[in-house]
Amino acid sequence: MGQFRNRTQESPIADHGDLQKSEGYAAPPLTGVWVNFPYLHNGSVPILYHLLGSEAERPKIFSVVAARRFDPERVGQQLYPTQFIHLGEAELLRKFRDDRNWFNADRAGHGNQGHAVWSRIKTDENRRA
């Protein structure tokens, strides 16, 4: 903890307060979170557009390798390499369910539910803003 505290005190966030020992989880600052995809603690939501939408819309499977390409319109990574864009989600799950180059939200500990905000955002216009 000492080295972490020292480095934090040398960083720009030191101007906003001092680190205090606690029994809880210390979340990192959210500055620039929009460019830190994939989202959620387990990296289960690859695109900010999906995070801000209905939980039911979140992709169940996406390519980890496709993260090399940024989707500027929906803010996050491209979901699939070009050669797999034509396949539907069910086919991708069948084909790549156990492939570690693909994130599968059905695997234990890989769920992408939670942090539901759609009830407050309500419209695509708000989500894109």
pTM over 0.75: no
Residue pair 61/89 in contact (Cβ under 8 Å)? The answer is yes
Is the CA virtual torsion 101, 105, 111, 113 positive or negative?
positive
Give the phi and the psi of residue 104 in degrees, each rounded to 5: -115, 110
- Output the pLDDT for position 56: 93
How many other CB atoms are there within 10 angstroms of residue 76's CB atom? 24
Confidence of residue 86 (pLDDT cuts 50, 70, 90): very high
Judge whether residue 93 has pLDDT over 60: yes
Lowest mean pLDDT among 15-29, 36-50, 107-121: 15-29
Estimate the share of the chain in helix, then strand, then coil, as percent rounded to the nearest 5: 35, 10, 55
For 22, the token pair is 């606690």
Across the range 34-58, mean pLDDT stands at 89
